[in-house]
Amino acid sequence: MKLIAATCLLVLLALISLFIGVSDVSLQSLFGDETARRAQFVLVETRIPRTLALILAGAGMAVSGTIMQILARNRFVEPSTAGTVDSASLGILTVMILAPGLPVFGKMLVATSFALAGTALFMLILRQIPLRSPVIVPLVGIMLGGVISAITTFFAYRFDLLQSMGAWTTGDFSAVLRGRYELLWLSFGLTIAAYIAADRFTVAGMGEAFTTNLGLNYRRVMTLGLTIVSMVTACVVTTVGIVPFLGLIVPNVVSMVMGDSMRRSLPWIALLGAGLVLICDMIGRTINAPYEIPVGTILGVLGSAFFLYLVLRKSARGA
Given this model, what pLDDT does residue 3 score? 86
Task: Indicate the number of domains in the chain.
Answer: 1
How far, CA to CA in Å, does 226 sit from each of 8, 18, 121, 215, 302? 31, 34, 11, 20, 26
Given this model, what pLDDT does residue 319 score? 46
Question: What pLDDT, in 10s, does the model give residues 73-83?
Answer: 888 888 888 88
Among 30-39, 234-243, 270-279, top mean pLDDT goes to: 270-279
- Residue 112 is part of a domain; what is its CATH number? 1.10.3470.10
- Residue 318 reports pLDDT greater than 60: no
- Residue 95 reports pLDDT greater than 80: yes
71 C-beta neighbours (distance < 10 Å), count: 20
How far apart, in whole angstroms, are the C-alpha atoms of residue 131 and residue 28?
Answer: 60
Question: What pLDDT, in 10s, does the model give residues 264-313?
Answer: 889 999 999 999 999 999 998 888 877 888 888 888 888 888 878 877 77
Q: Rounded to the nearest 5 degrees, what angle is found at the Cα of 237, between the Cα atoms of 8 and 50?
A: 40
Segments forming the whole domain that contains residue 115: 1-316
Is 100:130 a contact under the CB 8 Å cutoff? no
